[in-house]
Structure formats: C-alpha cells, structure tokens
Amino acid sequence: MKRRDILKTMAIAGLAAGVDGMAAKAATTAQTFVLVHGAWHGGWCWSRVADRLRSAGHLVFTPTQTGLGERKHLLSKAITLDTFTSDIVNVIEAEELSDVILVGHSFGGNAISGTADTIPGKIRHLVYLDSLMVEGGKAPFDNLPPDVVAARRKAAEETSGGLSLPAPPPSAFGVSETKDTEWVNRRLTPHPFGTYTSPLNIKGPVGNNLPRTYIACTNPSYAALQASRNWVKAQQGWRWAEIATGHDAMVMAPDELTRMLINVANA
C-alpha cells in the first residue's frame, strides 16, 4: 500500500474513532425531553428551548395537541382532556421513548398528569411549568377563579357557540417585547373548550408518585394560577423552583429555562 493510502486509511480510522468517542460521550449525557405546550399555543412555542436542548446533545419532542397550532383543522367539540393525554402517550409510544423528562406548561400540566397515570414506567421526571393543577375526577374549570370561568364560558359561547375559547393577547402571558408579541400573536389559535369542562381521568395522585418539580414563573405572576401554586406547596414530595419571568417562560427566558430543565434532568 502506498504511503498516501496508508495515511488516508489512518485518517479515516481516526475520524471514525473520534465520532465513536463523541457518540459514546453523548450517550452517557443525553436526556430525552417531551415538551408540552399550554392553552392556545402549540409545539411551536418551545422552539427556542428545543434548539438549545438539542445543541446540548439532548433528544427533544414538541408535540402539538389536537385542535391547536398546525392541528387547528382538527378542532372539535369532541376534544377532551382524555384526547390531550392520548396525544402525549401516543408520541412517547410511537417514538419508543423511555426515561422521559416530561414537561407541561400551564394547561399542559393536565396532559402530563394523565400521561404519568397511563405510562409511568416511561417517565423519569415530571416538570410542571407554571401549570394549572387539577386533581383526578375534576375539570380545569374547578380550579380556576369563578370570575375567570364565567368570562371564559361567555367568550366561548359568543365567539364559537361553545366550540372554543378565543386566544387572549400575548400580554396575558407576560409577553411584552414587540418582536415576541408579534411572533406569539401570529401563532395563537382558539382552544378546544371541552378540555376545560371535562374531568382529568387519573386513578392515582397527581404525578403518580414520580419525581416531580413545579417551576413557578414570578415576574409577572399569572394570577389565575395562584390556587394551583398553593396546592403544590401544600403537598409532600414535590420539588419547587422559581424563574423570574412571565408565564410564557419558554418565549421570554429560554436560556434560563433550558438551564433549569437540564439541572432537573441531571438531578
């Protein structure tokens, strides 16, 4: 074999070894994240955090729940919390995921509670990001202030005959920067009303005794979730963390939120 061929062979072998080494390193540090959005949003809202997690070597899925985002054409009165749970369970099963860090923002907390009850063996840690907390057998409207419930029922009836809730302005989620406001406003879609009136069908406790963390967004605080935060603080076995940003933390503080999620994964 000629010298240049020998050198070429050695270079290829060295490159392969380097790639194998990086792959081995990634395999020991990479985590699997499934990020679930809240009301009126879609998987799109996680793009900034997902990009950062992937750049750090993690596997990330950002499913959109039925009737929202790019799946808005599926909007129907038949959509319930069971539908939302099935959306997430089906992603985890179809992608054959395990050891999942399952994150639910706001209304998405209901779907991760349902998923934890259905396939607990697939989940490593639950993260409730400024989530609406609902106990088994209750509906989301059961844990929101009466004035909020009345206003949302009225809005749903007047705008869609009870089919959906119209999206509020981005400022309702603490979004204030002009570019962020425009980006979020373009993408918000009406939310399936039936998910607010249907019960969360779980057999065990919320979180199903899995490792779980609640991250509260504190600046500004989303007032409608105060009862949920108080409920979490009164429970045993929950980790508590805070992030000094508005409700849509994944939009406004992606660097800090990414760091917090990675810390949870490595805990």
So which residues are the catalytic ones?
106
The whole-angstrom distance between residue 235's C-alpha and the CA centroid of its chain comes to 22
Token pair 């799946």: residue: 71
What is the sign, positive or negative, of the torsion defined by CA atoms of 218, 222, 226, 232?
negative
Token pair 């010298």: residue: 3
- Return the exposure string of 47-71: e unless at least 16 CB atoms fall within 10 Å of the residue's CB, then b: ebbbebbeebebbbbbbbbbbbbeb
Contacts of 135 (CB under 8 A, 6+ apart): 143, 200, 205, 206
In terms of C-beta density within 10 A (0-12 exposed, 13-18 middle, 19 or more buried), how is residue 259 classed?
middle
Pairing of strands 59-61, 239-243: unpaired
Neighbouring C-beta atoms of residue 231, cutoff 10 Å:
17
